[in-house]
A and B are shown apart, each in its own frame.
Chain A
Amino acid sequence: MQPSNRRNPVLLSLALLLLAGLWLGDFASLAANRIVPGQGHGLSDALGLPWALSLSAALLALAALAWRAEPHHLRLAQGLLALLLAQLPLALAWFAARHLDPALPQARIAPGFGVWSQLFVYGLMLIELRQRLGGRLWLIGPLLLLLLSAALIASGAWDSLALMREYAGRSRQFWQALGGHLALVGGTLALSLGLGFALALTIGRWPRTQAALYGLLNLLQTIPSLALFGLLIPVLSYLATQSAALQALGVRGIGWAPALLALVAYSLLPVVRNTQVALQQVNAAVLEAARGMGMSRYQLFTRVRLPLALPVILEGVRITSIQAIGLAAVAALVGAQGFGTFIFQGLGQGAMDLVLLGALPTIALALLADALFGALAHVLTRRRQA
């Protein structure tokens, strides 16, 4: 075999690009308070020469391992990557300790290009190594990152981080926003699952309804979310003035009602389509056998059709939940509770750190939902082939 065949161009170019980026861009910035723009610090300035050189050496070593990407080299690279991920939260704390002036209690640091690009590139490297090596060891790096971050937050070493400063001023609103966000997403999932399941069964029972139903759901899907929120405001305001019962429920033109309705409208298509396709694609021979053995319709559905369809249905729930988590943030515009509130407040005040306080948890929630439903489907499909 030619040595060049063993090269891993992905890892190699990622390591070298990151190295160049780290030395050219700012690692992090420091601002005296929330209003003034931050002062950028390059890599060696921010962390000191020893840290900067060790980091560079580690990246060069990674590139060297990728140059001759034998399996044992890749395993070494995976170990090195875990260390790189672990040093990132420590580097931020180290930067704060080196540069923060105790005379300025309002001073705050913000991660710069150097931090974000490391996070992004390490993520790509993880995916690449996970594909080449398989196994579970790839989890060590991200877990170290999370544990160290949690420890640094708890110890107060990250208190000067802009994000933490924004959180410190709004910790009560933050948890309220989390609750509101989850309630909106949970409500959306529950409603769209119930309704979507009923619609999928309707299509299965009366195939003629399929064209009309999908036409309607597709139409809903094409309406831009902001337009749909806007359309719902006057409709719900009018309904609320007409019905005391709705008023008692708290239905108004703005607030949770239009947000929930719009989110459910968008969620229906993936739920209905996945559920219907999943129930329909169950092997005909299996159903024939089940019927011929003497299963009742109900037994056939609950013991055969539904369990075999479940992984694909869960895939629909996964897509729906991720989509709903994102849209729930936008729903802050019509007054719904959630992380979107921070995003739009931050945009209004020109405070990017506040925007991040809304955006980062939203992303984290979406990733969490993805992992959760992915794992659930994995457990269910491990022993199944439809």
Chain B
Amino acid sequence: MIELDRVSRRFGGVTAVDELSLRIASGEFCVLVGPSGCGKSTTLRMINRLVACSSGQIRIDGQDIATLDERLLRLRIGYAIQNTGLFPHWTVARNIALVPQLLGWPRARIEARVGELLALLELPAAEFADKYPDQLSGGQAQRVGVARALAGDPEILLMDEPFGALDPITRDNLQNELLRIQSQIRKTIVFVTHDIDEALKLAERIVVMEHGRIVQHGSPQQLLDRPANALVEQLLGQSERGLKRAGLRRVETLMRPPSGEPPAQTIAATASLRQALSHMLSQHCERLAVRDTAGRWVGVVHLLDAVREETD
């Protein structure tokens, strides 16, 4: 568990983070989002002490991090950044092995760990282990960056706009990868982004920041339902807020049981309501047959279902 207790950071006369208090539970995926200069990156970098607090206290599992050895603290915390920061003179394998090496793991364990991580990030070891960073595409380099951050098996993973410099398709893929990996490893992740769609997609909890303070925090659903102020509303994209909410609802939660003949157009049960609406709009139909992963017909979703109030 990470606790930020009235933490401030001043640079000269400028207050970047202002009396911020936040509690991030173990295994939680927490996304800090806000306009540039809102203090989200500074907040993140205070957790591994790349930036020192001017006042306040940060505790990890109850321990004040100011009392810990700076290096040992960082070895316990994974760190991934926007431009990957891969070491250009080291191979992919050696880059990933960095933290285990600093931790003094035996060689065999390091090798096994590197292989495990390459597999987890879907980078075949035979192809990638001996490549150098300049031989990788942007998406591959960022995968290696994430693998390197996970290498020491840290409890906490800090990610500072890791997908910010990637093209939309690669970014989308890596977001899905990250969700898949998180479902397997359950780390405490603090993720900084300025992209609200990325935050809505990844976060269990979103923390919206402005001028070094928290404007609102809550689940994506809570934010979409009740934005605290004009900034959050603007961030959520006003006119598209309804669609973004629909993006969080799964078709299977609002479908009707199958009856009569199945409609011609189909949609996967795990798809979002937003995808279902888009499909109806492009196919000019009011009803979609819902099918599960095995292709069985499990229900029907109707255009009118989309506008019903949520009951759950």
Which residues does chain A contribute within 8 Å of B85, judged by CB atoms? 283, 285-290, 292
A326 to chain B, nearest CB (A): 33
A307 within 8 A of B: yes
A308 within 8 A of B: yes
Given A294-B72, A384-B88, A384-B89, decide whether A289 and B79 contact each other with a Cβ distance below 8 A: yes
A291 within 8 A of B: yes
Given A294-B71, A294-B74, A385-B88, decide whether A288 and B81 contact each other with a Cβ distance below 8 A: yes
Closest to B151 in A: A293
Q: Is B84 in contact with A293, judged by CB distance below 8 angstroms?
A: no
Q: Is B74 in contact with A292, judged by CB distance below 8 angstroms?
A: yes
Which residues does chain B contribute within 8 Å of A291, judged by CB atoms? 50, 74
Given A286-B86, A304-B87, decide whether A385 and B134 contact each other with a Cβ distance below 8 A: yes
Tell me, in angstroms, the Cα distance from A303 to B239 when the chains sit together: 52
Q: B73-85: contact bitstring with A at CB < 8 Å (1 yes, 0 no)? A: 1110001011111
B98 within 8 A of A: yes
Tell me, in angstroms, the Cα distance from A283 to B71 when the chains sit together: 21
Which residues does chain A contribute within 8 Å of B73, judged by CB atoms? 294
Closest to B149 in A: A293
Report which of B75, B89, B145 forms a contact with A294, defined as CB distance below 8 A: B75
- Chain A, interface size: which category? 20 to 34
A383 within 8 A of B: yes
Q: Is B89 in contact with A307, judged by CB distance below 8 angstroms?
A: yes
Tell me, in angstroms, the Cα distance from A385 to B71 when the chains sit together: 27
Given A285-B83, A299-B102, decide whether A292 and B50 contact each other with a Cβ distance below 8 A: yes
B188 within 8 A of A: no
Which residues does chain B contribute within 8 Å of A304, judged by CB atoms? 87
Report which of B48, B102, B134 forms a contact with A292, defined as CB distance below 8 A: B48
Tell me, in angstroms, the Cα distance from A291 to B83 when the chains sit together: 15
Q: Is B87 in contact with A286, judged by CB distance below 8 angstroms?
A: yes
B132 within 8 A of A: yes
B148 within 8 A of A: yes
Tell me, in angstroms, the Cα distance from A154 to B72 when the chains sit together: 66
Given A383-B132, A385-B134, decide whether A289 and B88 contact each other with a Cβ distance below 8 A: no
Q: Is B102 in contact with A288, judged by CB distance below 8 angstroms?
A: no
Which residues does chain A contribute within 8 Å of B84, judged by CB atoms? 285, 289
Given A288-B50, A289-B84, decide whether A383 and B89 contact each other with a Cβ distance below 8 A: yes
How many residues of chain B get a CB closer than 8 Å to chain A's CBs? 25
Among B71, B73, B75, which residue has the most Cβ atoms of chain A within 10 A? B71
A386 within 8 A of B: yes
Tell me, in angstroms, the Cα distance from A173 to B145 when the chains sit together: 61
Closest to B78 in A: A293
B99 within 8 A of A: yes
Tell me, in angstroms, the Cα distance from A293 to B50 when the chains sit together: 10
Which residues does chain B contribute within 8 Å of A287, judged by CB atoms? 85
Tell me, in angstroms, the Cα distance from A295 to B48 when the chains sit together: 12
Tell me, in angstroms, the Cα distance from A304 to B90 when the chains sit together: 9
Q: Is B99 in contact with A294, judged by CB distance below 8 angstroms?
A: yes
Which residues does chain A contribute within 8 Å of B48, judged by CB atoms? 292
B65 to chain A, nearest CB (A): 13
Q: Is A293 in contact with B89, judged by CB distance below 8 angstroms?
A: no
Tell me, in angstroms, the Cα distance from A252 to B37 when the chains sit together: 64
Which residues does chain B contribute within 8 Å of A288, judged by CB atoms? 50, 81, 85
Which residues does chain A contribute within 8 Å of B99, judged by CB atoms? 293-294
Tell me, in angstroms, the Cα distance from A48 to B82 when the chains sit together: 73
Which residues does chain A contribute within 8 Å of B88, judged by CB atoms? 283, 286, 308, 384-386
Given A288-B85, A308-B88, A384-B89, decide whether A293 and B134 contact each other with a Cβ distance below 8 A: no
Q: Is A293 in contact with B79, judged by CB distance below 8 angstroms?
A: yes
A26 to chain B, nearest CB (A): 55
Tell me, in angstroms, the Cα distance from A289 to B158 when the chains sit together: 11
Which residues does chain B contribute within 8 Å of A385, judged by CB atoms? 88, 134
Tell me, in angstroms, the Cα distance from A299 to B73 when the chains sit together: 16
Given A385-B88, A386-B88, decide whether A293 and B81 contact each other with a Cβ distance below 8 A: no
Tell me, in angstroms, the Cα distance from A384 to B86 when the chains sit together: 12
Q: Is A293 in contact with B98, judged by CB distance below 8 angstroms?
A: yes
Q: Is B148 in contact with A293, judged by CB distance below 8 angstroms?
A: yes
A296 within 8 A of B: yes
Tell me, in angstroms, the Cα distance from A383 to B86 when the chains sit together: 14
Given A288-B50, A288-B81, A385-B134, decide whether A293 and B86 contact each other with a Cβ distance below 8 A: no
Which residues does chain B contribute within 8 Å of A289, judged by CB atoms? 79, 81, 84-87, 145
Known: A286-B85, A286-B88, A308-B87. 5 other contacts (CB 8 A): A286-B87, A288-B81, A294-B73, A294-B99, A308-B88
Interface, chain A (partner B; CB < 8 A): 283, 285-296, 299, 304, 307-308, 383-386
15 contacts between A and B (CB under 8 A): A283-B85, A285-B84, A286-B85, A286-B86, A286-B87, A288-B81, A289-B81, A289-B145, A290-B85, A291-B74, A292-B74, A293-B98, A294-B73, A294-B74, A308-B87
3 nearest A-B pairs in the assembled complex, by CB-CB distance: A289-B85, A294-B74, A292-B79
